């Protein structure tokens, strides 16, 4: 059974006093252990304040065996004297490319988060913690999972209701392979497009609808019962406000987290992946 509430993430103690993030200066060393450093975007080569150890380089090198590593950014993410790394790769879908976050977890370095984005950077918070900004979405460390995940979803803490007859008909019409009698809909109402109307994030469940390893389908239905966005996600998707209006919806798949923007333009809805 799907939980009816989407709970807020528990942040590690390193993020105590979390406030809106402010831009931090990244330390960039594109080179790997045993290789020559490559100039960064501005033509300068910068060296991390604390030299990363061989165990961190080993994880980055393992990533590089399966995909080209374009850049590596280092920071003492937890302010404990241990460097963490943001590894930017050329594993791209459309114009979004994968990044991996490598950190020391329970005494050993490992990949502790991954997603696809156009722009990604480390940021400091006013409370003294650190986060990752990925295309405007804040990613924060979760003590519960020892993992970095999207933080501050509009759906956090909301309670769902079961779908009504119109929503069942809309979901069934969107993909007629879903049998009406086998659908299970959890509906979260929120003003996604800030137009004083409640749009609905609908999580589609039931024996009909598992989408393989990538989880279950989800839909966004507008006030006119039109599907304006859709996807699949292992966990309930995360929803974030976009600068300039609309929302970014982040889905979790076996390949990593994927984002798509939903914005209103001239009373029409535009979806950008």
- pLDDT tens, position by position, 12-49: 333 333 333 323 333 333 333 333 333 333 333 334 54
Q: Which residue has the higher pLDDT, 12 or 69?
A: 69
Q: Which residue has the higher pLDDT, 217 or 39?
A: 217
- pTM of this prediction? 0.67
Per residue in 161-197, pLDDT (tens digit) is: 999 999 988 988 887 655 655 778 999 999 898 887 8
Q: What is the mean pLDDT of residues 212-232?
A: 88
List CB contacts of 32: < 8 A, sequence separation 6 or more. 57, 60, 61, 64, 69, 72
Cα torsion through 244, 194, 260, 150, rounded to 10: 90
CA dihedral sign of residues 148, 90, 48, 119: negative
Closest CA to 204 of 248, 237, 252: 237
d(CA 203, CA 131): 28
Residue 221 structure tokens:
């239905």
d(CA 264, CA 245): 8
Residue 176's pLDDT is: 64
């Amino acid at each position: 059974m799907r939980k009816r509430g989407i709970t807020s993430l528990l942040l590690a103690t390193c993020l105590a006093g979390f406030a809106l993030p402010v831009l931090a200066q990244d330390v960039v060393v594109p080179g790997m252990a045993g290789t020559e450093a490559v100039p960064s975007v501005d033509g300068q080569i910068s060296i991390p304040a604390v030299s990363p150890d061989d165990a961190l380089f080993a994880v980055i090198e393992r990533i590089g065996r399966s995909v080209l590593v374009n850049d590596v950014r280092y920071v003492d993410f937890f302010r404990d004297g241990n460097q963490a790394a943001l590894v930017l790769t050329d594993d791209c879908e459309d114009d979004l490319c994968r990044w991996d976050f490598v950190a020391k977890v329970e005494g050993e370095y490992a990949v502790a988060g991954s997603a696809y984005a156009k722009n990604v950077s480390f940021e400091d918070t006013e409370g003294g913690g650190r986060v990752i900004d990925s295309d405007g979405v804040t990613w924060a460390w979760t003590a519960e999972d020892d993992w970095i995940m999207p933080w501050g979803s509009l759906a956090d803490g909301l309670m769902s209701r079961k779908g009504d007859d119109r929503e069942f008909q809309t979901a069934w019409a969107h993909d007629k392979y879903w049998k009406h009698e086998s659908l299970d809909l959890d509906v979260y109402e929120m003003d996604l497009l800030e137009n004083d109307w409640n749009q609905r994030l609908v999580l589609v469940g039931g024996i009909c609808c598992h989408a393989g390893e990538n989880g279950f389908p989800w839909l966004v239905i507008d006030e006119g019962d039109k599907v304006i966005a859709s996807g699949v996600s292992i966990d309930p998707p995360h929803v974030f406000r976009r600068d300039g209006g609309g929302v970014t919806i982040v889905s979790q798949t076996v390949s990593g987290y994927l984002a798509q923007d939903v914005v209103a333009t001239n009373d029409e809805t535009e979806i950008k992946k």
